[in-house]
Amino acid sequence: MRRRAILGYGAAGVGAVALMLFVGWWQVDGPGGPEPVGQRPVALTEMDFRLTDHEGNAVGPETLIGRPTMAFFGFTYCPDVCPTTLSDISGWLDDLGDEADEMNVVFITVDPERDTVETMAEYVGYFHPAIRGWTGPEEQIARVADGFRATYERVPTESGDYTMNHSASVFLFAASGRFVTMIDYHEPREFAVPKIRRALEEETEGAT
């Protein structure tokens, strides 16, 4: 009996430690943790860039202000991260139902040399219809990436071609243009969707 009690206390202790570690991860490195101040995207109202969407329309930061925004950087030749994330985003939008219509959802290329308007139009057509593809001159892509605090670089391949390394997080902004939070690559749906709803709620609160 005494041995059972000791084992029970031990299991409870391990459980408590595991819970504390999880809470610590959530608040520091996990979905509940704050982004480092120096790496936080600036507000959309402070950005200045000019791109073109996959239908040939001129777009900029003002295009996004007025509705919550979900944005992701990538490129159409991306072998895994981009199609996986865009598929995740499509699933999140399905979960939101009609609320998805209240959001801007943009996929911004970091490879404008290959990702023309036509290429972007074909690529985003494989995913949720709310997703818009944005491309433009290299210097404008650099400007928007700087505002979002997104990183990317061109990496030569052994075949003589190249690929792109880039930030894999999804950025969320409130309708006012204020940065809300990020959704990490492969973040579980049960964490991602509530973050999106938080951006939507900020939009609703601002309208009341």
Q: What is the pLDDT of residues 73-89, one digit of tens each?
A: 999 999 999 999 999 99
Residue 45 CA to residue 43 CA, distance in Å, equals 5
Look at residue 208 and tell me whether its pLDDT is greater than 60: no
Q: What percent of the chain has pLDDT over 70?
A: 79
Q: What percent of the chain has pLDDT over 90?
A: 77
- Residue 166 assigned to a binding site: yes
Residue 160 CA to residue 156 CA, distance in Å, equals 7
pLDDT band at 39 (very low <50, low <70, confident <90, very high): confident
Dihedral, CA of residue 92, residue 95, residue 100 and residue 104, to nearest 10: -10
Q: What is the pLDDT of residues 125-172, one digit of tens each?
A: 999 999 999 999 999 999 999 999 999 999 999 999 999 999 999 999
Mean pLDDT of the chain, nearest integer:
86
pLDDT band at 194 (very low <50, low <70, confident <90, very high): very high
- Looking at residue 1, its pLDDT comes to 53
Q: What's the whole-number mean pLDDT along residues 97-116? A: 96
Domain ranges of the chain: 1-34, 44-207
The reported pTM is 0.79
Residues 132 and 106 sit within 8 Å (Cβ to Cβ): yes
Instruction: Give the residue from 113, 108, 100, 61 showing the smallest Cα distance to 82.
Output: 108
Q: What is the pLDDT of residues 41-75, one digit of tens each?
A: 999 999 999 999 999 999 999 999 999 999 999 99
Pick the CATH number of 44-207 from 1.20.1090.10, 3.65.10.10, 3.40.50.10420, 3.40.30.10: 3.40.30.10
- Looking at residue 17, its pLDDT comes to 43
Q: Is the dihedral of CA 186, 189, 195, 197 positive or negative?
A: positive
- Residue 82 assigned to a binding site: yes
Residues 147 and 49 sit within 8 Å (Cβ to Cβ): yes
- Residue 78 assigned to a binding site: yes
